[in-house]
């Protein structure tokens, strides 16, 4: 199984713990949906794509579809303001505030 690297999303700079700010690795099946939150502190994280040439700097990396993430049991939050996140789908609180 491949090992994926995750790091806290830059937009959540005011959040995170040592685990996700420094980045961490998860061994996951190729078809598993990426983690959306740090397993230790819950800060939003994104998968870091390893590539020998970074040809996509400044580009938007396409993530998994919302429906596939929801089907896999993930909860997704979108930033709705400074330090607040609104739930798109899944279980848990409607909004997160830090």
Applying CB under 5 A, the residues found at the interface with Zn ion are: 16-17, 19-20, 38, 40-41, 43
| Minimum CB–partner distance for residue 71 and Zn ion (Å) | 25
Tokens encoding 32: 């598993």
Q: Which residue has the tokens 């996951």?
A: 28
Nearest approach, Cβ of 34 to Zn ion (angstroms)?
15
Cβ proximity to Zn ion, 15 vs 64, nearer residue: 15
- The bridge status of strand 3-8 relative to strand 45-48 is antiparallel
Residue of this chain nearest to Zn ion (CB atom): 38
Residue 6 or 33 with smaller CB distance to Zn ion: 6
Rounded to the nearest 5 degrees, what angle is found at the Cα of 40, between the Cα atoms of 83 and 91? Answer: 65
Contact 21, 14 (CB under 8 A): no
Q: Shortest Cβ distance from residue 41 to Zn ion (Å)?
A: 3
Between 40 and 50, CB nearer to Zn ion: 40
CB of 43 to Zn ion, least distance (A): 5
Distance (Å, whole) CA 21 – CA 41: 11
């Amino acid at each position: 199984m491949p090992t994926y690297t995750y790091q806290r999303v830059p937009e959540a700079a005011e959040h995170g713990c040592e685990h996700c700010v420094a980045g961490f690795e998860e061994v996951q099946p190729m078809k598993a949906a990426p983690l959306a939150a740090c397993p230790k502190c819950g800060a939003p994280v994104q998968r870091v794509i390893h590539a020998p040439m970074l040809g996509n700097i400044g580009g938007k990396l396409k993530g998994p579809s919302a429906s596939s993430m929801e089907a896999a049991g993930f909860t997704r939050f979108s930033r709705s303001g400074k330090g607040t996140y609104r739930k798109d789908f899944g279980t848990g609180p409607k909004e997160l505030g830090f």
